[in-house]
């Protein structure tokens, strides 16, 4: 008897990964290939679309080099991808016709500012749950169409295709189908959260023709099939989702009010809000989490602009630590921060402040402060910012939060994760599986083909739980001091020509 497997593809901003999962949600093989990032001008961030595809193919090859007998026993594929990044290609040749514009790229700031000046932001926000920002895909598509005559020629000949990274990969995997899933579509500024379809008015606002966009499919289902390539037979691409939505599913946040935070360079906090989107969220984003079996789940999303990057700054710029792990050791070496608070507003502050003029601030310094206090304050800043977002989520959604699930680099810093539990007053769970995005893509695929995934996220797998140890009075006092520190950082650069970083 042989074992069946699911192949999960996780295409990220700096690497592409492929992982092989069995019935128990265990990773049996993995392959990872780095992806180059191109910075042709200040504020511009690009990828080579052909390299994106080749890196995924190479990662899959490495999986089957590690476990060659598995190739004929893969029964489904799951796909997760970096969101908002835009690819354009020629449907006749299958070749990309421009660099992929990354989600990080700021070249369309002026387009967003112009549209805001016309008073369009509220209407866009109401329909899409998003805000006018270069972060999202629509202005990238508009910029490409207006700056490259070749794209206009291809469009006139009905040969042009545009989509997010999932669409580009699905085009290759399916032998030429132009598809995206609802979670990725909801990140474009062109998708109506309420009708779950491309919105004609939004297409008109951004100047994007409907016929160049992909067909929208469910996040979990068996209708999308591979054609040729890695397998001797056609297989369902049964799970498709943007990376943060896949991570939400991988954490098992399947019911309204369940919440996760992924700590990377920045951090993404997502709350499952159930079958209806939160009506007109004030300072957070509303997005599709996934759609499966005819039911759509939505999520609230907030992000930290600086999280893991703060620790890197301590290492690379201030040289206070030599390795990232040193931050944990130093933070534990002191009883507190000696009254120091660090607001890491290097590029402004996101939700709930939305102040692009905020700048990094260190307050409360006395002669008693040492470098260990500054390191500890830097780690605490990510926990305080996460509480900022979660308190806003509770207010806007009406759902209480009884636990936070976390992943990403900082989640394995024991000091940080304990302090996160302390400052929130709820337990924080660190799953034993570190590949939560790939796990989510695989779990979506597994659900679609009828596998039981209930044990995939079980605490019996060795999940670690941090319980709050701080008193409520101390928690509220520390958080109150943090809010005072933030006020000192707000508006600092208001007289500068600063970019709008509301993403």
- Tell me the per-residue pLDDT of 327-354, one tens digit each, with 9 for 90 and over: 999 999 999 999 999 999 887 787 788 7
> In this model, does residue 279 exceed pLDDT 80?
no
What is the 3-state secondary structure of 21-50? ECCCCCEEEEEEEECCCECCCCCCCEECHH
Between CA 220 and CA 5 the distance in angstroms is 17
Helix (H) or strand (E) holding 286: strand 285-292
Backbone angles phi, psi at 203, to 5 degrees: -60, -40
How many residues make up the chain in this entry? Answer: 503
Nearest CA to 85 among 151, 10, 142, 140?
A: 140
| Mean pLDDT value across residues 400-406 | 94
Between CA 281 and CA 301 the distance in angstroms is 10
**What percent of the chain shows pLDDT beyond 90?**
70
| Mean pLDDT value across residues 243-249 | 95
Q: Specify the pLDDT at position 499.
A: 42
Domain chopping of the chain, boundaries? 5-241
Q: Specify the pLDDT at position 497.
A: 41
Cβ proximity of 217 and 79 under 8 Å: no
Q: Specify the pLDDT at position 350.
A: 78
- Give the Cα-Cα-Cα angle 360, 366, 368 (nearest 5 degrees): 120
> In this model, does residue 432 exceed pLDDT 60?
yes
> In this model, does residue 217 exceed pLDDT 50?
yes
Q: Angle 414-424/472-489 helices, nearest 10 degrees?
A: 100
> In this model, does residue 379 exceed pLDDT 70?
yes
Average pLDDT, the chain: 91
**What percent of the chain shows pLDDT beyond 70?**
96
Summarize pLDDT for 288-337 with one digit per residue, the tens: 999 999 899 999 999 888 888 888 899 999 999 898 889 999 999 999 99
Residue 212 pLDDT class (50, 70, 90 cuts): very high
Q: Report H helices in 363-435.
A: 371-397, 414-424
Place of tokens 């939400």: 248
Residue 210 pLDDT class (50, 70, 90 cuts): very high
Residue 1 pLDDT class (50, 70, 90 cuts): low
Residue 318: DSSP 8-state: S
Residue 392 pLDDT class (50, 70, 90 cuts): very high
Between CA 443 and CA 79 the distance in angstroms is 10
Q: Specify the pLDDT at position 157.
A: 82
Summarize pLDDT for 30-72 with one digit per residue, the tens: 999 999 989 898 888 899 999 999 999 999 999 999 999 999 9
Q: Specify the pLDDT at position 352.
A: 85
Q: Specify the pLDDT at position 501.
A: 37
Domain 5-241 has CATH 3.30.420.40: yes
Q: Among 61-70, 86-95, 206-215, 227-236, which is the least confidently predicted range?
A: 227-236
Q: Among 81-90, 193-202, 343-352, 483-492, which is the least confidently predicted range?
A: 343-352
Q: Specify the pLDDT at position 500.
A: 41
Token readout for 483 is 């809010």
| Mean pLDDT value across residues 144-172 | 91
Between CA 101 and CA 151 the distance in angstroms is 15
Burial class (CB in 10 A: 0-12, 13-18, 19+), 61: middle
Q: Specify the pLDDT at position 23.
A: 93
Between CA 213 and CA 179 the distance in angstroms is 8
Token readout for 207 is 């100047």
Q: Specify the pLDDT at position 78.
A: 97
């Amino acid at each position: 008897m042989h074992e069946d497997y699911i192949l999960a593809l996780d295409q990220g901003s700096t690497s592409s990964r492929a992982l092989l999962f069995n019935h128990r949600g265990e990773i049996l093989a993995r392959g990872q290939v780095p992806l180059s990032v191109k910075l042709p001008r200040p504020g511009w961030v690009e990828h080579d679309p052909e390299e994106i595809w080749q890196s995924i193919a190479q990662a899959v090859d490495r999986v089957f080099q590690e476990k060659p007998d598995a190739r004929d026993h893969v029964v489904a594929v799951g796909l997760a991808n970096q969101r908002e990044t835009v690819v354009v290609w020629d449907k006749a040749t299958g070749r990309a016709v421009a660099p992929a514009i990354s989600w990080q790229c700021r070249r369309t700031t002026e387009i967003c500012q112009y549209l805001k000046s016309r008073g369009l932001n509220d209407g866009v926000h109401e329909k899409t749950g998003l805000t006018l920002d270069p972060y999202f895909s629509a202005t990238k598509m508009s910029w490409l169409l207006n700056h490259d005559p070749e794209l206009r020629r291809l469009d006139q000949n009905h040969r042009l295709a545009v989509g997010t990274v999932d669409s580009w990969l699905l085009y290759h995997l399916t032998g030429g189908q132009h598809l995206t899933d609802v979670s990725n579509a909801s990140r474009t500024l062109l998708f109506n959260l309420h009708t779950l379809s491309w919105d004609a008015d939004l297409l008109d606002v951004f100047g994007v023709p409907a016929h160049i966009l992909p067909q929208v499919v469910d996040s979990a289902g068996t209708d999308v099939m591979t054609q040729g390539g890695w397998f001797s037979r056609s297989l369902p691409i049964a799970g498709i989702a943007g990376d943060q939505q896949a991570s939400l599913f991988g954490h098992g946040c399947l019911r309204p009010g369940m919440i996760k935070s992924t700590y990377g360079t920045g951090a993404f906090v997502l709350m499952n809000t159930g079958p209806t989107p939160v009506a007109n969220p004030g300072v957070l984003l509303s997005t599709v989490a996934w759609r499966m079996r005819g039911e759509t789940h939505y999520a609230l999303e907030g992000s930290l602009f600086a999280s893991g990057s703060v620790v890197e700054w301590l290492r690379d710029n201030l040289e206070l630590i030599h390795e990232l792990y040193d931050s944990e050791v130093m933070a534990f070496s002191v009883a507190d921060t000696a009254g120091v608070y660090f607001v890491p507003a290097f590029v402004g502050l996101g939700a709930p402040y939305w102040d692009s003029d905020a700048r990094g601030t260190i307050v409360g310094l006395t002669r008693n402060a040492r470098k260990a206090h500054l390191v500890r304050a830097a780690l605490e800043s990510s926990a305080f910012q996460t509480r900022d977002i979660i308190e806003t989520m509770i207010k806007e959604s009406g759902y209480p939060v009884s636990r936070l699930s976390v992943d990403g680099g900082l989640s394995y810093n024991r000091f940080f994760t304990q302090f996160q539990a302390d400052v929130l007053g709820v337990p924080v769970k660190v799953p034993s599986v570190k590949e939560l995005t790939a796990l989510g893509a695989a779990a979506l695929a597994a659900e679609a083909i009828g596998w039981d995934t209930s044990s995939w996220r079980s605490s019996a797998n060795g999940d670690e739980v941090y319980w709050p140890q701080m008193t409520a009075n101390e928690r509220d006092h520390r958080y109150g001091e943090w809010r005072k520190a933030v006020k000192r950082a707000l508006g600092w650069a208001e007289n500068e020509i600063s970019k709008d970083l509301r993403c």
